[in-house]
Structure 1
């Protein structure tokens, strides 16, 4: 991996922006996309997309969408002791939330914050800790009282986001970071736009990132209505399940980009799957089939407007929706090549065949 790409990954994953509060990531995407597109447009909820116009006004429209938001929390109440009750933004395993470092983001500034836990000393002589619920975990920024917290600008509705440094593993094959779901997508969009900047495409390309994916695929509905694509590709990270066995599991690090054939919100159309399989075979791109219990923005896109054929060009990540995700550099590079070659190969005839299913 080139150092430039690693630095782009590091910058994007270390940015902090949970659902509905993606402004730092949006500003980064706007600046990074602008040199490679004809214009940048934003939808009403805050999704941001660079557009490369085809010279023909009626050329087919292809949309590639990451999402900018990462899982986090929102302050719901400030206690008398100056701690915070929260609601989760996105899906969290309650057993990974406690005793972690976060950033509390307020109108007056950002403050260090940690999630509470119970030391074993205080559990002695008891029946032990009961089942943990995320909403029961308090967050602590070191304030003595509600009044002190409020004097620093803390209010209900402020967000709390993981604080993590992005690093390489010792063998150089993997990267550890937060928010690879879905700063992967943000990174691969920028990499593809840069790679294709001097090439003429056979379609109008709309590439960027949605908001509020982690809280119900909300941003996609507005963006596809605004841009009205003929085809939609989500670029997203999915959970790897390979730490114990690869037999009967989906999502294995180092085995290539994900070919998501099914999830609860989407079945990939046969002609679109055929096109992606042909693209992978033609360009020797490693891929792995993937079946998921969760969805992506492609699930919202394909039932929007008059129905939009949609697919996901993805990567697996271990331990997603936590502070620390491990992901493979080789998988990222395979997904990047898959996206670039997919966009290169799409012309009006191919898109018509995919859409019409003939």
Structure 2
């Protein structure tokens, strides 16, 4: 079993939705504290390690994953003890039914839950709306559910196990969006331990990305970076779509609906990738990342996204490439090591 796969098992087992990222935040704090000068948080719960530079007039570089994954929240407890939910993050209703989840109760416990499905014997109908899907923990009635600490507002997180594919090249797990980013940040800081940088590095993770990039607004205001790098996972298009191949390397993400890469940022990133010998692929995304929020803050912050693709994201079973992670990590390290004051001024020479 590879060291990388073991780390993936650890991070994808974490459970945390928007507003309830405490388990992920505690993990991040424990991993990065030994490698930074100090830890700071913003008002919503984003957490970042600060690695100061001794360089004169060093630019402030922010590298941000996000802590939250997609899941659900209890909306109603029905008289029969079942639940109805609201989605926290984007879900295709076709992948929700007949799955296992973990419900975090108000008593601090986790209990198993399944999402109901209508068997063909009872006349299965068209795909239901999210709000109509039954979530069932096996309680006999509402009172019993409440006695176990179930309340409206409790979160429900996908429950699954990270496994290697037969060829050993890929992993199947939940939440690679965005445990990928979390692992990228911890690996970055571990690999940079003891090294001096030409920038003040602010590396960590935002909260509440999956519900509208909310955490990035607060963190960029607090930390006031000169450059912002979101580290995030995107939807692969090699099976359903066009761009985004597993094993194609890290992404050169030049466009998404909320962000267009600046010309001089593009030049820096392309040169860095070529010089580092990083395997990359061009990618125009149909979804957004925290870069879409960050670049609008303060006086405008040059931003981009460093990422990989995965198949079947926002579901229980995501499939992704180990090699792509290694390429993305090499790319991120090269960017961080090369982004100095003169580079920043070149990027912003308007």
Bucket of the pairwise TM-score, normalised by the shorter protein:
over 0.9
Report the TM-score, using the length of structure 2 for normalisation: 0.98
CA contact 2:78–2:142 (8 Å) conserved in 1: yes
1:347 aligns with 2:343: no
Q: C-alpha offsets along residues 256-312 of structure 1, whole Å, 9 cap, x if unaligned?
A: 001110111000001111111101111110101111111000000000111000001
Which of 226, 233, 246 is the equivalent residue of 2:222?
Answer: 226
In the alignment, structure 2 segments of 5+ residues that lack a partner are none
The match for 1:201 is: 197
The match for 2:113 is: 113
1:89 aligns with 2:88: yes
1:327 aligns with 2:320: yes
CA contact 1:230–1:355 (8 Å) conserved in 2: no
Report the TM-score, using the length of structure 1 for normalisation: 0.95
1:185 aligns with 2:178: no
Q: For 2:338 and 2:10, locate their aligned partners in 1 and report how far apart those are by CA, in whole Å.
A: 30
Change (3 A) 1:131 1:324: closer
The match for 2:145 is: 149
CA contact 1:85–1:135 (8 Å) conserved in 2: yes
Q: For 2:96 and 2:16, locate their aligned partners in 1 and report how far apart those are by CA, in whole Å.
A: 17
| Superposed displacement of residue 243, structure 1 | 1.7
SS in 1 for 2:196: coil
Q: C-alpha offsets along residues 311-349 of structure 1, whole Å, 9 cap, x if unaligned?
A: 011100000000000000111111000000010111110
Q: For 1:356 and 1:228, locate their aligned partners in 2 and report how far apart those are by CA, in whole Å.
A: 19
Aligned length: 349
1:302 aligns with 2:295: yes
1:1-358 counterparts in 2 under 5 A? Answer: 3-55=2-54, 58-108=57-107, 109-123=109-123, 128-243=124-239, 249-357=242-350
* Aligned structure 1 segments of 4 or more residues deviating by more than 3 angstroms: none
Q: For 1:155 and 1:73, locate their aligned partners in 2 and report how far apart those are by CA, in whole Å.
A: 13
Q: C-alpha offsets along residues 91-128 of structure 1, whole Å, 9 cap, x if unaligned?
A: 000000000000000122100000010001001xxxx5
Change (3 A) 1:133 1:244: closer
| Superposed displacement of residue 59, structure 1 | 2.1
Q: For 1:185 and 1:237, locate their aligned partners in 2 and report how far apart those are by CA, in whole Å.
A: 7
Q: For 1:160 and 1:132, locate their aligned partners in 2 and report how far apart those are by CA, in whole Å.
A: 18
CA contact 2:94–2:127 (8 Å) conserved in 1: no
| Superposed displacement of residue 53, structure 1 | 1.0
SS in 1 for 2:73: strand
SS in 1 for 2:219: helix
CA contact 1:70–1:179 (8 Å) conserved in 2: yes
Q: For 2:43 and 2:7, locate their aligned partners in 1 and report how far apart those are by CA, in whole Å.
A: 27
